[in-house]
A = this chain, B = another copy of it.
């Protein structure tokens, strides 16, 4: 890290807005609303889009049970074998663990559901259940998109911290799973620890992160317990979850990730059970088959977690990806991806388990019209399907290879629109507007511009973007044809120069730095006080 970013006079909530001239009126009307009357918020209920029928869901479920019973999983580590056989799984001569259907069904029945994923700040708590929708980041991009140079460069620890700080102020991004890996930190322990540190110091929203090996979990837990003010506090409100790729599709356990999973379960960290097969490569090319395999894999993980600790919070993380079958390359921005993700949302609902899957991954390398429609289509369908946790939904490009800080800011507007669509249409006597229409037509001015209903609904029913442009061509020309990317670049620079979240007090940060020494590589950045 070359630059320390000490800026003692700023606050966490310093999200400001453009103003000037006619803008003043817009700004005033666009000023923050009380949470209960905001047109969009975290946890709105989706589910009006159903990619699958009830019969489809049941057939997928049956296929899943068959596969778990007959094919099962290879490559279980000894502690995994021990835990799974103890609860009734069988370990075959062919080295595969198989799951009797009664074991799977009883696990589904008894697994943790309707739990909360906590933020460091309780206002960011997420109740992940039913068809409640939350958008957030995720990924392991190895590049940052430099939109000014139109270049991909290696992602650094500072980028993770910067992304966290941006997300802290973006209302429609509800959680922050680490979206990049710090290429400047080659050592796995250093990398895991500092990634986590950069995330939890950068945002008070719920954080997701990964660990390379089991041994790296202990120092992370020590850090988290310290920030929480004690182990009990963390266990009561765990504000970090473990994004865990416990499976190497098709149907094999990932040894290192399983070790991490066991350590996280023991330490009180919720698990995102992440199955990331790629249709046509590591999962069937048939969309239904890719869903079947993903569900089977995640349910195996769910049995594993519950064998270790009954009722430990786990997210049903069916994340099947898509291949462009002409090249074998991943295509995160494809229609097939939107369908896979939406189907997975319904499978989670079928089991009444908190579901997480991926949407918003653009194939396009830059924030351009292609990435816009790829993100728009996939994120709105995930939301309308009622997916509880929509990972990868902001900032991601090049099918997970490049993360873009400017896109975070732009995507926040897009996700606001998606949330407005998720919220849907209120059909009440008042909303049907018979009286309003009658009055306007029969006695009124013949239009609704100054109508009482119009003024009342202006803030509660209509979503207004923060940076997107709704000028007429004439206004747009008069303003010098503003470019959205340029606006996002400026907003990013302003926020990163001024927002230094200080939810972790300075004296605690001092203690952590003393305790962990060289392990902390992110320079002090204005936290504490």
A residues at B contact (CB < 8 Å):
25-26, 29-30, 48-53, 55-56, 59-60, 63, 66-67, 70-71, 74, 143, 150, 152, 250-252, 279-293, 322, 324-329, 331, 333-336, 338-339, 343, 363-365, 367-377, 380-381, 384, 398-399, 401-402, 407, 410, 413-414, 416-421, 424-428, 430-434, 436-438, 440-442, 446-449, 451, 453-454, 457-458, 461-464, 468-473, 476-477, 481, 483-485
Sample of 19 more A-B contacts, CB < 8 Å, known A285-B457, A329-B471, A334-B417: A56-B425, A250-B440, A280-B448, A280-B454, A284-B451, A284-B454, A286-B433, A287-B431, A322-B462, A343-B425, A365-B471, A369-B375, A372-B372, A373-B414, A373-B417, A380-B381, A381-B384, A398-B472, A399-B470
**A279 CB to nearest B CB, Å:** 8
Copies in the complex: 2
- List the B residue with the shortest CB-CB distance to A459: B325
Q: Report yes or no: A463 in contact with B335, Cβ–Cβ below 8 A.
A: yes
**A409 CB to nearest B CB, Å:** 11
- List the B residue with the shortest CB-CB distance to A422: B335
Q: Report yes or no: B52 in contact with A49, Cβ–Cβ below 8 A.
A: no
Given the known interface contacts A250-B446, A434-B63, A451-B285, the answer about A425 and B369 at a Cβ–Cβ threshold of 8 Å is no
Q: Report yes or no: A368 in contact with B484, Cβ–Cβ below 8 A.
A: yes
A426 to B338, CA, bound (A): 14
Which B residues lie within 8 Å of A427 (CB)?
52-53, 55-56, 59-60, 288
Which B residues lie within 8 Å of A325 (CB)?
454, 457-458, 462
Given the known interface contacts A336-B463, A448-B285, the answer about A470 and B437 at a Cβ–Cβ threshold of 8 Å is no
Contact of A143 among B291, B471, B473 (CB under 8 A): B473
A303 to B139, CA, bound (A): 56
Which B residues lie within 8 Å of A453 (CB)?
284-286, 289
A361 to B468, CA, bound (A): 14
- A sample of 9 inter-chain contacts (CB < 8 A) reads A26-B326, A284-B454, A287-B461, A288-B431, A289-B432, A338-B417, A363-B468, A377-B380, A384-B384
